């Protein structure tokens, strides 16, 4: 790695590659790489990146957006980008063209790492038509983009990685992380969860997500373990097959997968024999799924707590402890907000977190992150909880965001899209559940015209949302009502609204 760029992440990775050279590092599809082979692939890719994407004036790093599903080439190019002296920005692979374009405008994207099949679909993103994609392995290309002039925001000099959270009005918020913060998150995860070189982690969560990024990517390599990806759709059959075939010890997945495991006809106990940790995040895990999983497989699902802005916060290491979200990881301090607006009579209040893996700020929303830090540098999470027995227990949210599969959605963004439509007099969006208990956005609309046909209006609204919002923000349920109950200051009374809708539904059914 001589003559390539250095920084905290590269230094930690170079050390890991040297220490574990002959061990197997990564498996995905038919591909298997040792640490030595991985290092060679990273180095070669870094040199190609430098050739095809030279540093800007004054050796300014190029901004490389990753918009790609999990696979070995993602890992190779992520580290290669760092070794090339560039800045990786890890986008949600489900971001639509509008969101990618907004990131390009806000943060400046010099290139996108995508599947070659997506190049045509991204024609709306700046100057794609003139760019010549650079092909890498496994159908992945680097697609150079033209910068849209001066971008309004410049990353901090210490920033080594950017990740995104859902923003309002179609502008994802870009979180900046220093190399020290990224390395700290990985080291603390290794230390706090007892990860070793014998661990084989099957990561099914997207690497752009904090869960996968912090629990699987650098941490696995620092420990000298193996990182496995599954090609294709994460159905329980191939997941169970991979666990058995590879002797997977850690499964990093999302609640829906665990629910499917315990559904009738799911894999039997032998499928999980090698597993030591089943980790769930992204959305709250259903308590009955956790219990059924324990009963069927004899293993607890670790429902860890992490925040995009702070990194991993807690983990339960004790198999015989079944309540709460575990104890704080090394480098993590948790407080419950004191005072009249914080802690309630039962010890619950807003969860405040300070970690050594905190983001530095939002690149494209200056001051917004800093505004959520208290005088001691603790981050206001927006979650309500309490500490009991040294463990964190969450009891709810203090904010109005809707959490759909781990993506926080600002309901005002949806309401803004819908309110702009002809025939809509009022609207509100709030969290609800479908019949499978999956979180969804429930949109309630007041039609301006009494004669508006509900079916037509629902179709119109859905079509408008699909054209202007990311797929996961499109309301899963749309209801119509004569008037939305509101407080004196105009805030919607969601509890009252739910009661009205339930009463209407019961009336319709009965």
Partner 1 sequence: MSEEDQLAMKKRVQRLVYIAAGGKIKEEELGHYGTDLRNLGLDSLGYLNLLEGLERTFGVVIDLDHEEDHSFLHTIDNIVRFVETQRGKAA
Contacting positions for partner 1 (CB under 8 A): 29, 94, 231-238, 256, 260, 263-265, 405, 433-438, 440, 462, 471-472, 474, 476-477
**Shortest Å distance, C-beta 117 to partner 1:** 11
Residue whose CB is less far from partner 1, 17 or 474? 474
Residue whose CB is less far from partner 1, 70 or 159? 70
Q: Which two tokens stand for residue 6?
A: 């250095």
**DSSP codes joined into one string, 91-128:** --TT--HHHHHHHHHHH--SEEEEEGGGTGGGTTSTTG
**Shortest Å distance, C-beta 216 to partner 1:** 20
Measured CA to CA, the distance from residue 421 to residue 438 in angstroms comes to 28
**Shortest Å distance, C-beta 228 to partner 1:** 16
Measured CA to CA, the distance from residue 112 to residue 67 in angstroms comes to 7
Residue whose CB is less far from partner 1, 352 or 414? 414
**Shortest Å distance, C-beta 471 to partner 1:** 6
Q: Is the dihedral of CA 146, 151, 154, 159 positive or negative?
A: negative
Q: Identify the CA nearest to 163 among candidates 222, 195, 206, 203.
A: 206
Measured CA to CA, the distance from residue 70 to residue 233 in angstroms comes to 11
**Shortest Å distance, C-beta 438 to partner 1:** 5
Helix then strand count (H, E) for the chain reads 13, 27
Residue whose CB is less far from partner 1, 62 or 407? 407
Alpha carbon 148 to its chain's center: 27
**Shortest Å distance, C-beta 479 to partner 1:** 12
Residue whose CB is less far from partner 1, 6 or 437? 437
Residue whose CB is less far from partner 1, 93 or 119? 93
**Shortest Å distance, C-beta 30 to partner 1:** 11
Q: Identify the CA nearest to 6 among candidates 68, 59, 69, 66.
A: 59
Residue whose CB is less far from partner 1, 250 or 407? 407
Name the residue with tokens 């119109």: 460
Measured CA to CA, the distance from residue 225 to residue 338 in angstroms comes to 41
Measured CA to CA, the distance from residue 447 to residue 454 in angstroms comes to 9
DSSP 146: -
**Shortest Å distance, C-beta 300 to partner 1:** 23
Q: Which two tokens stand for residue 319?
A: 């198999």
Name the residue with tokens 């990685």: 161
Residue whose CB is less far from partner 1, 19 or 237? 237
**Shortest Å distance, C-beta 369 to partner 1:** 30
Q: Identify the CA nearest to 86 among candidates 74, 94, 97, 78.
A: 78
- The DSSP bridge pattern shows strands 24-28 and 87-90 to be unpaired
Answer for the pair 437, 476: CB distance below 8 angstroms, yes or no.
no
Measured CA to CA, the distance from residue 7 to residue 5 in angstroms comes to 7
**Shortest Å distance, C-beta 113 to partner 1:** 21
Residue whose CB is less far from partner 1, 235 or 495? 235
Answer for the pair 492, 428: CB distance below 8 angstroms, yes or no.
yes
**Shortest Å distance, C-beta 498 to partner 1:** 16
Residue whose CB is less far from partner 1, 433 or 483? 433
Instruction: Please report, in angstroms and rounded to a whole number, the separation of the first and last CA atoms in the chain.
Output: 71
Residue whose CB is less far from partner 1, 94 or 151? 94
330: left (phi over 0), alpha (psi -120 to 50) or beta: beta
**Shortest Å distance, C-beta 417 to partner 1:** 16
Residue whose CB is less far from partner 1, 94 or 412? 94
Measured CA to CA, the distance from residue 145 to residue 111 in angstroms comes to 5
Residue whose CB is less far from partner 1, 131 or 211? 211
> What value, to the nearest 5°, has the Cα angle with vertex 331 and ends 328 and 337?
55
**Shortest Å distance, C-beta 455 to partner 1:** 10
Sequence-distant (6+) residues with CB within 8 A of 431 are 402, 403, 439, 440, 441, 442
Residue 219, SS3 per DSSP: helix
């Amino acid at each position: 790695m001589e003559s390539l760029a250095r920084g905290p992440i590269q230094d930690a990775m170079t050390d890991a590659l040297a220490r574990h050279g002959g061990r197997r590092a990564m498996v995905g599809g038919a591909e298997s790489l040792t640490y030595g082979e991985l290092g060679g692939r990273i180095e070669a890719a870094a040199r190609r990146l430098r050739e095809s994407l030279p540093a800007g004036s004054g050796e300014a790093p190029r901004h490389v957006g990753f918009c790609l599903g999990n696979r070995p080439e993602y890992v190779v190019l992520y580290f290669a980008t760092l070794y090339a002296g560039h800045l990786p920005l890890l986008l949600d692979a489900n971001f639509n063209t509008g969101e990618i374009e907004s990131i390009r405008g806000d943060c400046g994207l010099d290139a996108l790492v995508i599947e070659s099949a997506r190049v045509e679909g991204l024609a709306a993103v700046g100057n794609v038509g003139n760019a010549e994609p650079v092909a890498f392995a496994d159908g992945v290309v680097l697609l150079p983009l033209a910068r849209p002039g001066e971008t309004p925001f410049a990353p901090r000099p210490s920033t080594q990685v950017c990740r995104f959270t859902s923003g309002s009005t179609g502008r994802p918020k870009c979180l900046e992380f220093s190399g020290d913060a990224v390395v700290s998150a990985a080291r603390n995860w290794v230390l706090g969860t007892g990860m070793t070189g014998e661990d084989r982690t099957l990561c099914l969560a997207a690497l752009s997500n904090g869960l996968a990024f912090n629990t699987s990517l650098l941490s696995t390599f620092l420990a000298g373990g193996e990182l496995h990806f599954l090609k294709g759709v994460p159905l329980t059959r191939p997941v169970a097959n991979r666990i058995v075939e590879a002797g997977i010890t850690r499964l990093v997945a999302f609640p829906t997968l665990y629910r499917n495991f315990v559904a009738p006809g799911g894999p039997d106990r032998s499928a999980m024999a090698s597993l030591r940790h089943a980790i769930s995040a992204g959305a709250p895990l259903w308590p009955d799924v956790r219990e059924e999983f324990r009963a069927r497989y004899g293993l607890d699902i670790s429902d860890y707590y992490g925040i995009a802005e702070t990194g991993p916060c807690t983990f339960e290491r004790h198999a015989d402890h079944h309540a709460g979200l575990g104890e704080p990881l090394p480098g993590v301090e948790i407080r419950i907000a004191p005072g009249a607006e914080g802690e309630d009579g039962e010890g619950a209040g807003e969860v405040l977190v300070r970690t050594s893996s905190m983001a530095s700020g939002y690149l494209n929303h200056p001051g917004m992150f800093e505004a959520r830090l208290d005088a001691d540098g603790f981050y206001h999470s927006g979650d309500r909880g309490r500490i009991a027995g040294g463990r964190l227990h969450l009891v709810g949210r203090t904010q109005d965001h809707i959490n759909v599969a781990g993506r926080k959605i600002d309901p005002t963004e949806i309401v803004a899209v819908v309110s702009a439509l002809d025939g809509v007099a009022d609207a509100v969006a709030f969290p609800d559940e479908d019949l499978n208990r999956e979180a969804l956005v429930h949109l309630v609309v007041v039609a301006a015209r009494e004669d508006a046909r509900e079916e037509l209006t629902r179709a119109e609204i859905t079509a408008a949302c699909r054209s202007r919002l990311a797929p996961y923000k499109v309301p899963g349920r749309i209801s119509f009502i004569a008037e939305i109950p509101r407080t004196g200051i105009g805030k919607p009374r969601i509890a009252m609204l739910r009661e009205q809708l339930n009463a209407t539904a019961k009336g319709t059914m009965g």
